[in-house]
Amino acid sequence: MSAKRSRPRLRAGAHSFVSCLRKFLTPAVWKQAHRVPTPGRRAKQRWPLQPMLLTILLMTWCTGDTQAERFETARAFYTVLAPKRRRPGRTVQGFQKSLAALPVAVLRALATALRGQLRRLFAGALEVAGFIPLGCDGTRLRCPRCAALERRLGQGSNAQAPPQVWVTALVHLATGLLWSWRIGKGNASERQHLEQLAPTLPPQALVVADAGYQGVDLARTLIQAGLAFLIRVSSQTTLYALEGVPGAWDEGLVYYWTAEGQRQKQAPLLLRLLRVHSPKRKVDVWLLTNVLESQRLSVEAAGQFYKMRWENEGFFRTYKRTLAKVKLQSRTVRLVHREVEGSLLAVQLLLAQGAWAMVVLGRKGAVSSPRGVLVEIRRELRGGLGRRPRRHYVERLARAERERRPRTSAKEKRVWPSRDNHKPPKPPKLRELTEELKALLQKVLPAA
């Protein structure tokens, strides 16, 4: 007899869309959201907390050109999902009115509890080479041109642009999971957002970011939070080598000491500067990290981590294009905030379902396709209006993985009008310590 090929089997009841959602939205997660005070909301109303939050998630996943179309599909699915509960309101206007009265703190508490659940479920899949690599980047979302949003949000860097919202997101670079995020006006500072997101990171986190996050204040904040970072630096950064500047630099210890810090007699930051050569682009990538031991983080590993930072761009493409969030639809500031927070929760759950299916079925090295996961979710939303839900949902998710075929040539780059060609950042300014700076260093280091 031929030996049958064994494959992982799922437990009974763990392969449907609803059971997969319950894997992440556990009673403990819902309890954290219910603990947030909601002043002004009546005890008995047509939109309790759980139906409202589930409707927000379903509206992000389902199809429809307007919010009214998405609302009808989401409400119908929830009504079939909970037939014994009191039916929620019928109109999208009533739903938006109840949503505007919901504190944003409820959505953030749900995101915090969900992040803890993700860490428990993906405990073994998050760590890579002793770190939990998390990439940080930001993007802008357009809003409707209405007077209230133009007055409160502003246009960002371009005066001709519509009102915009800035989103800074942290993405796990190995699995593509959305970890945490922060929103602000169109002209918000992404460095300040990362400082505010530092408490949400696990102790083993390695923050990987591009040259937009270079700065001594941000580096000091991450060090004080006990976090490791790997940030690209450019000619805007001036560093001082401990043992002189050699002719060819690969890696070494440097002092990060700005002119303002020298005037205020602040102690410099002792960091490690790495030079990673990219043979494909024929440029050097200069990376600054607070991991001083080369045994813990080698130059090759640092280059690989920075190459994985492309997951940030993939996440924003999923959020803005796959889920059609290039432009938001809400027309008030309160609804804009709740639309962004709710849709980010939805994309976090979408990515988590795909990654969890790969882990459960033992698909090592495979990364799920967000578009494929969304197609399966929409199939469930269409088929879930019957009496019997679809089966083997997780197995279908595991088959929705990204394309991994080997490429023999570079991708064709289209020429877009009114878009400047990308210029790689220039190397940082590497200086030697003068006698005056050495004398100042002897004074500030003992004080520090």
| Cα distances (Å, whole numbers) of residue 253 to 108, 269, 300 | 39, 10, 17
Contacts (Cβ under 8 Å, ≥6 apart) of 271: 219, 239, 253, 254, 255, 256, 288, 289, 290, 292
pLDDT(6) > 50: no
- Residue 360, pLDDT score: 84
Share of the chain above pLDDT 70, in %: 90
pLDDT score, position 417: 75
pLDDT at 391 over 60: no
Going from the C-alpha of 102 to that of each of 35, 41, 71, the distances in angstroms are 13, 8, 17
Q: Give the separation between CA 285 and CA 301, rounded to whole angstroms.
A: 13
**Over 70: is that where the pLDDT of 390 sits?**
no
pLDDT (0 to 100) of residue 7: 46
- Count H helices, E strands: the chain? 16, 10
Q: From CA 228, how far away is CA 305, in angstroms rounded?
A: 13
Q: Grade residue 402 by pLDDT with cuts at 50, 70 and 90.
A: confident
What is the model's pLDDT at position 43?
58
Helix (H, G, I), strand (E, B) or coil at 61: helix
Distance CA 130, CA 343 (A): 32
Q: What is the pLDDT of residue 448?
A: 58
CA 271, CA 222: separation in Å to the nearest integer?
12
Q: Distance (Å, rounded) from C-alpha 99 to C-alpha 67? A: 13
Helix, coil or strand: residue 165: strand
- Retrieve residue 157's tokens: 């860097």
Pairwise CA distance, residues 384 & 390, whole Å: 7
Identify the weakest region by mean pLDDT among 28-32, 37-41, 58-62, 256-260.
37-41
Look at residue 25 and tell me whether its pLDDT is greater than 50.
yes
What confidence score (pLDDT) does residue 412 get? 63
**pLDDT at position 359:** 87
- As a whole number, mean pLDDT of residues 324-344 equals 95
- Give the dihedral of Cα atoms 44, 50, 56, 59; nearest 10 deg: -100
CB 370 within 8 A of CB 318: yes
Q: Which pLDDT value is given to residue 354?
A: 93
Q: What pLDDT shows up at residue 138? A: 95
Q: Per-residue pLDDT for 253 more than 80?
A: yes
pLDDT at 141: 94
Does residue 384 carry a pLDDT above 80? Answer: no
In the prediction, which pLDDT does 409 show? Answer: 72
CB–CB of 280/300 below 8 Å? no
Q: Give the predicted TM-score (pTM) of the model.
A: 0.90
Average pLDDT over residues 383-389: 53
Report the pLDDT averaged over residues 359-377.
88
Q: If DSSP codes are grouped into helix, strand and coil, which group holds residue 200?
A: helix
Residue listed under structure tokens 């020298």: 262
Measured distance between the N- and C-terminal CA atoms of the chain, rounded to whole angstroms: 74
pLDDT of residue 250 exceeding 60, the answer is yes
pLDDT > 90 in the chain, percent = 63
User: For the ranges 15-24, 173-182, 194-203, 335-344, which has the lowest average pLDDT?
Assistant: 15-24
Mean predicted lDDT score pLDDT of the chain: 88
pLDDT higher for 403 or 101?
Answer: 101
pLDDT top residue among 420 and 360? 360
Q: What is the pLDDT of residue 161?
A: 84
Rounded CA separation 13/441 (Å)? 65
Q: How confident is residue 411, by pLDDT bands cut at 50, 70 and 90?
A: low
Q: How far apart are CA 161 and CA 433, in angstroms?
A: 46
